[in-house]
């Protein structure tokens, strides 16, 4: 109840904003039982926006009005075309995470608090005016004492408290939405908030982001197609990160890139190669590769920034993904279905034939188009949509992969509309799979394992003898256990038979008594005692004979 009371003012504001943009269908009356008067008043104060071109546009404007956390949530939702319509996803990509900067003096104070010493001990120059400002952090340019120009990223003051409060509100709204809207249940609103919470929390730890950048830089240390800036660890803290400044042409400025003489076709193909190399060679990829985070050098080299969101893939995920992609290229839908089940992405009891038919129904119409019109990323989205119908749970690593694939393919086709991602990706994946499961891969694994196995080689004969002995003992124990089971079963059958014989004796005795009664003997005491004795002796003798026979058989 306390949470409800705390959230009331913000809930009222959300309702007012949604009604302002004529989004009343997103506001269930049951949920707003206590706010009925507010609803009616706001309907009068804020009439319908008659010039709204679409519901998607109005929803984007509402999220912008609600502030940075809702903007970032909308941005995250825009990367989930497997959950929302294409027009809504397109509209939400227009959301901008631009907020007014906080003062340069406050930024200096926060940095000095993090360092525990004056700013001039670290920088010879620090520019008070930020070069960029967003909802989580802002960036300033500075100069180290050795003359190196760097960028300094500093978290906003009290940003964690603000975000945690807003996440609690999002949880509150998601619970209500799933209760009152079937569409929210289909979208799994609570899972979406969980996904958003993890993403935003990763962005709040600048030491983590610095570590991500260092690892990516190491992975591409000798690359000629992508450059990752250096982290200055001695100046980096959990809320302050210092990196080498990246200079280049923003990748969205295609005219400037052309004027610089960069080959756009090669640039587009390099982007695809960078993505697949990160995902399949390294299992570690930049998962926020939108145009604002990419620059291009005069030599055509990609220059990446902002490493707060990274994706990881384990060896099994990489192998199953490659198998899926190659099966797509060959339109082998059964293999796609089987790979999903083996990977554990759908329940193990999923019927392969039904899943295969569902995938075929989605993919065949897409393959009927010319190859230049087929979006590889959208095909993957359609696959995930189909898999969700078969109870595929959210796979965070696949969600980030899907998002990155969308960004890379979209960006590549902006640079070079004739980009055929299939043509670029298929040879790479075929080589990668061959490298993973071919003879060379086996020898490589043996070389890697040899240092660990070498000390065990002299002990192999002893280990073999012990293994044979344990196998023999296990076999003997198995035989002994089988004999015990057979004996137990025989004992159970024997006891059941004894019980049946005794019951049969009593039944015979009862029938005899009934016969005597019918014959006119009403007093049981008139029955000779020897008759009872004979009946009991016969029953006992039968049991004894049975027991002797059983013992003889054993």
CA–CA distance, 196 with 248 (Å, rounded to integer): 31
CA–CA distance, 231 with 209 (Å, rounded to integer): 10
Contact between residue 241 and residue 153 where contact means Cβ atoms under 8 Å apart = yes
CA–CA distance, 114 with 546 (Å, rounded to integer): 91
From the list 51, 86, 87, 288, the catalytic residue is 288
Q: Is 65 a catalytic residue?
A: no
Q: Is 284 exposed, middle or buried (0-12, 13-18, 19+ CB in 10 A)?
A: middle
- Which DSSP symbol is given to 231? B
Tokens describing residue 389? 């119908």
Contact between residue 107 and residue 140 where contact means Cβ atoms under 8 Å apart = yes
Q: Where are the alpha helices (DSSP H) in 416-459?
A: 421-437, 439-453
Instruction: Spell out the long-range contacts of 495-501 with Cβ–Cβ below 8 A and sequence spacing 24 or more.
Output: 497/546, 498/543, 498/546, 501/539, 501/542, 501/543, 501/546
C-alpha torsion sign, points 167, 169, 170, 172: positive
Strand partners, 250: 295
Residues 6+ away with beta carbon under 8 Å from 384: 82, 392, 398, 402
Contact between residue 212 and residue 203 where contact means Cβ atoms under 8 Å apart = no
Tokens describing residue 239? 């809320």
Contact between residue 127 and residue 140 where contact means Cβ atoms under 8 Å apart = yes
> Which positions are annotated as active-site residues?
288
């Amino acid at each position: 109840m306390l949470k409800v009371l705390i959230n009331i003012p913000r809930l009222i504001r959300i309702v007012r904003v949604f009604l302002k943009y004529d989004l009343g269908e997103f506001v269930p009356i049951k949920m707003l039982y206590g706010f009925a008067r507010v609803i009616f008043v706001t309907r009068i104060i804020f009439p319908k926006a008659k010039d709204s071109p679409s519901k998607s546009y109005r929803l984007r404007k509402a999220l912008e009005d609600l502030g940075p956390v809702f903007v970032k949530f909308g941005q995250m939702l825009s990367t989930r075309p497997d959950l929302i319509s294409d027009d809504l996803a397109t509209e939400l990509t227009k959301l901008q995470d631009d907020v007014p900067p906080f003062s340069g003096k406050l930024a200096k104070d926060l940095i000095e608090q993090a360092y525990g010493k004056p700013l001039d001990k670290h920088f010879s120059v620090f520019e008070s005016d930020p070069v960029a400002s967003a909802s989580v952090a802002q960036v300033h340019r500075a100069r180290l004492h050795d003359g190196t120009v760097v960028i300094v990223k500093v978290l906003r003051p009290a940003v964690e408290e603000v975000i945690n409060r807003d996440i609690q509100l999002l949880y509150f709204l998601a619970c209500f939405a799933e209760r009152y809207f079937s569409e929210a249940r289909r979208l799994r609103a609570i899972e979406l908030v969980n996904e958003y919470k993890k993403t935003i929390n990763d962005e709040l730890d600048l030491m983590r982001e610095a570590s991500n950048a260092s690892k990516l830089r190491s992975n591409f240390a000798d690359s000629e197609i992508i450059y990752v800036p250096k982290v200055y660890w001695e100046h980096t803290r959990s809320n302050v990160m210092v990196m080498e400044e990246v200079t280049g042409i923003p990748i969205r400025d295609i005219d400037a890139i052309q004027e610089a003489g960069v080959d756009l076709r090669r640039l587009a193909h390099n982007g695809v190669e960078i993505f697949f190399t990160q995902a399949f060679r390294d299992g570690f990829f930049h998962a926020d590769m939108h145009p604002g985070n990419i620059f291009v050098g005069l030599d055509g080299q990609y220059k990446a920034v902002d490493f707060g969101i990274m994706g990881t893939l384990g060896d099994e995920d990489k192998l199953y993904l490659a198998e899926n992609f190659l099966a797509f290229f060959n339109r082998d839908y059964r293999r796609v279905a089987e790979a999903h089940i083996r990977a554990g992405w759908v329940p193990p009891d999923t019927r392969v034939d039904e899943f295969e038919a569902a995938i075929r129904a989605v993919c065949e119409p897409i393959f009927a188009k010319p190859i230049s019109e087929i979006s590889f990323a959208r095909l993957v989205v359609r696959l995930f949509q189909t898999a969700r119908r078969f109870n595929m749970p959210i796979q965070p690593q696949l969600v980030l992969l899907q998002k990155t694939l969308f960004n890379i393919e979209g960006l590549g086709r902006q640079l070079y509309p004739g980009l055929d991602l299939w043509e670029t990706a298929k040879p790479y994946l075929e080589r990668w799979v061959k490298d993973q499961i071919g003879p060379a891969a086996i020898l490589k694994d043996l070389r890697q394992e040899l240092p660990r196995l070498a000390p065990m080689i002299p002990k192999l004969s002893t280990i073999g003898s012990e293994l044979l002995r344990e196998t023999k003992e296990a076999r003997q124990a198995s035989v002994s256990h089988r004999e015990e089971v057979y004996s137990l079963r025989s004992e159970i059958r024997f006891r059941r038979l004894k019980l049946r014989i005794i019951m049969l004796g009593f039944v015979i005795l009862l029938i005899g008594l009934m016969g005597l009664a019918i014959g006119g003997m009403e007093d049981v005491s008139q029955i000779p005692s020897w008759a009872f004795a004979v009946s009991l002796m016969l029953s006992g003798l039968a049991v004894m004979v049975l027991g002797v026979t059983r013992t003889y058989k054993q």
